[in-house]
Structure 1
Amino acid sequence: MQVKIVYASMTGNDEDMAEILEEDLQDAGFEVDSSDVSFTDASDYLNADICVFVTYTYGEGKMTDELEDFYDQLKSLDLTGKRFLVMGSGDKTYKDHYCENVFDFEKVFLACGAEEVVKPLTVENAPDDDDIAKIDEIADELAEKFNG
């Protein structure tokens, strides 16, 4: 199975999350391609079986330019038959806006016809050991569902 991971990372936290998932999935036998959102076209997801987006939410949830551009590209795609998952980081001091972009991307994947394979994983700031264990569990779950 082909997995496409696209990540957006301002501080490196979300890139770390993407790298952990990528390594886990490769170890489970998936073919994984990973790239930074700034250098990726949303149509790259059309060549994948499983679409993964890892993003941060900055401040009060307004998307940065590169996130907004990718979001707009994604909105125009038909991802029927694709599966997806979204994860990302945020800061709980922003209360109502905590990880808002993670949920914005979840909604757009659903609107594009993709099937959600696991609920979004949200992480406060940098992933700690518990968060890393959750990423590992997601990879295990995907391996069970799709690699038999």
Structure 2
Amino acid sequence: MATILMVYASMTGNTEDMADAIADGVRDAGIDITVKSVVDTNASELTEYDGILFGAYTWGDGELPDEFLDFYEEMDDVNLQGKKAAVFGSCDSSYSQVGAAVDILIEKSKEIGAEVTLEGLKIELSPSADEKETCRDFGKKFAQSL
């Protein structure tokens, strides 16, 4: 059976709400998922899973959150060839680069060999009930891509 690791960062709880709904969608598809805060894991763990979900809010005007920076650098030492990945995050359209952290993590995933199977999911600030359903669908689709 396929295994999935979700690694995310959340400051205000918005990305965490997305992560919870996405994890529910993965479980609804019948796949086990391990969910970890980025500060509680390291990039070498990524190779132990078939699928990887990354979640990050965008900090400032288009940057990864500070707590993601060390992990991001560690990703350079990991080969995700044969692994599938997808990325999500909360964002704020008051900035010129909306949800740039999602785009940064998609590019890094590709650079280190992962197949990114879904378009990045960006939700404005806190997910509404409908957007939480979108997140659950995102999780189901990702699980089905394995």
Structure 1 Cα separation of the partners of residues 54 and 144 of structure 2: 20
Deviations 1:104-144 (A, max 9, x none): 00000000010011010001111112321221222332344
1:55 matched to which residue of 2? Answer: 56
For residue 27 of structure 1, report the CA deviation from its aligned partner: 2.3
Q: TM-score, normalised by structure 1?
A: 0.91
**In 1, Cα distance between the equivalents of 2:145 and 2:105?**
23
Q: Deviations over 1:30-77 (max 9, x none)?
A: 111000011110111111111000000022123333211111011221
Q: How does 1:58-137 map to 2 (within 5 A)?
A: 58-95=59-96, 97-137=97-137
Partner letter of residue 14 of structure 2?
Answer: N
Contact 2:56-2:64 at 8 Å conserved across structures:
no
Supply the distance in 1 between the matched residues of 2:80 and 2:143 (Cα, whole angstroms): 21
1:138 & 1:64 partners in 2: Cα distance?
22
Higher relative contact order (CA 8 A, sep 6+): 2
Question: Does the 8 A contact of 2:10 with 2:16 survive in 1?
Answer: yes
Give the structure 1 partner of residue 29 of structure 2.
Answer: 28
AA in 1 matched with 2:70: D
Q: Which residue of 1 aligns with 2:7?
A: 6
Cα distance between partner residues in 2 of 1:29 and 1:133: 17
Indicate how the Cα distance of structure 1 residues 79 and 144 shifts in structure 2: closer, same or farther if over 3 A, else same: closer
The runs of 4+ residues in structure 1 deviating greater than 4 Å are none
Distance across 2 between alignment mates of 1:62 and 1:138 = 23
Check 1:143–1:102 CA distance in 2 against 1; reply closer, same or farther (3 A cut): closer
Q: Mark the CA change 1:145 to 1:83 in structure 2 (over 3 Å): closer, same or farther.
A: closer
| Secondary structure in structure 2 of the residue aligned to 1:92 | coil
* Residue segments in structure 1 that go unaligned for 5+ positions in a row: none
* Distance in 2, Cα, partners of 1:33 & 1:2: 8
- The amino acid of 1:22's aligned partner reads A
Distance 2:108 2:142 in 1: 21
Gaps of 5+ in 2: none
Q: Which amino acid aligns with 1:58?
A: W
| Number of the residue aligned with 2:38 | 37
